[in-house]
């Protein structure tokens, strides 16, 4: 059983008109960094009060008291617009137990761990790196966050804090697809890989002998990047029953 329980809204951080974070307090069961939960509200227009629910990853480390969820406001979205307009003191539903296997313990040992994220897909990586458990077995970690515009890099200050925390082990790279910025690469991830722009900028290469790639975010990015790595770098999806080089999580 995985019941719905009540969560208290502590803060709503509205980063842009379409991006926001919820800071919650709820008596959930312990979770693993990288896992996701489900949030819900009751649809007051339904006679039977059906719940409108969606899956979202935790941004906070499991050891932190408050829960943090990073959300994109979807045009005509049934739930995200309601969540965006919540305020301190409101209540929502959250699942007591977390879901998913996008966790560091499922990643095999390697020299370089590549963490690719688009949009709100940065959430699970923040949780994993803030928690910091089972990270020592990687010589290098590369955190890549791709967005459309520079103002959507809302967790860049946290990424910079994590960079300092890992004292040279962690490299961070931001990407914008729809504007040029001196501090970010420009273009889509598959394009930057195909032309080796990303790897040249980082100073490390992606290959099946030394690397493992985690992909989280827009399903189109996940699919296109996976196919590029499979067809051009001889990398395979990692499964429990069959070791590979790529771990994926679709996130919308």
pLDDT in tens, 147-200: 999 999 999 999 999 999 999 999 999 999 999 989 999 999 999 999 999 999
**Predicted local distance difference test score (pLDDT) of residue 195:** 96
Could you name the CATH architecture of 104-250? Answer: 3-Layer(aba) Sandwich (3.40)
**Predicted local distance difference test score (pLDDT) of residue 240:** 87
Higher pLDDT, 81 or 75: 81
**d(C-alpha 60, C-alpha 241), whole Å:** 30
Q: What is the CATH number of domain 4-95?
A: 2.40.30.10
| Res. 58 pLDDT band, cuts 50 70 90 | very high
pLDDT in tens, 89-141: 999 999 999 999 999 999 999 999 999 999 999 999 999 999 999 999 999 99
**Predicted local distance difference test score (pLDDT) of residue 47:** 43
Average pLDDT over residues 75-92: 94
Tell me the Ramachandran region of residue 201: left when phi exceeds 0, alpha when psi lies from -120 to 50, beta otherwise: alpha
Average pLDDT over residues 223-239: 97
Q: Which residues contact 27 (CB under 8 A, 6 or more apart)?
A: 5, 96
pLDDT exceeds cutoff 90 at 251: no
pLDDT exceeds cutoff 80 at 60: yes
- Compute, in degrees rounded to 10, the torsion defined by CA atoms 41, 44, 48, 51: -20
Domain-wise residue ranges, the chain: 4-95, 104-250
**Predicted local distance difference test score (pLDDT) of residue 249:** 84
pLDDT exceeds cutoff 70 at 237: yes
pLDDT in tens, 21-52: 999 999 999 999 999 999 999 865 544 468 89
CA distance to 88, 111, 193, 221, 246, per residue, from 227 (Å): 43, 22, 12, 10, 11
For 5, the 3-state DSSP assignment is: strand
**d(C-alpha 67, C-alpha 59), whole Å:** 8
């Amino acid at each position: 059983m995985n019941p719905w329980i009540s969560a208290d809204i502590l803060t709503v951080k509205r980063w842009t008109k379409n991006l926001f974070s919820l800071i919650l307090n709820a008596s959930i069961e312990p979770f693993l960094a990288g896992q996701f939960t489900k949030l819900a509200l009751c649809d007051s227009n339904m006679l039977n009060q059906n719940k409108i629910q969606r899956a979202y990853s935790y941004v906070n480390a499991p050891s932190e008291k408050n829960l943090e969820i990073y959300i994109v406001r979807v045009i005509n979205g049934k739930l995200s617009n309601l969540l965006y307009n919540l305020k301190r003191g409101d209540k929502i539903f959250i699942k007591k137990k977390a879901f998913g296997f996008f966790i560091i313990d499922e990643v095999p040992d390697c020299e370089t761990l590549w963490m690719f994220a688009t949009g709100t897909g940065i959430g699970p990586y923040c949780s994993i790196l803030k928690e910091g458990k089972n990270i020592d077995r990687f010589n290098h970690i590369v955190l890549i966050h791709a967005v459309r515009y520079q103002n959507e890099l809302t967790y860049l200050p946290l990424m910079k804090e994590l960079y300092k925390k890992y004292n040279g082990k962690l490299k961070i790279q931001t990407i914008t697809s729809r504007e040029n910025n001196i501090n970010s690469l420009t273009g889509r991830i598959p394009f930057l890989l195909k032309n080796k722009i990303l790897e040249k900028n980082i100073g490390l290469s992606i290959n099946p002998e030394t690397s493992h790639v985690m992909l989280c975010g827009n399903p189109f990015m996940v699919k296109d990047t996976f196919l590029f790595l499979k067809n051009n770098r001889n990398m395979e999806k990692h499964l429990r029953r069959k070791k590979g080089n790529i771990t994926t999580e679709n996130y919308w």
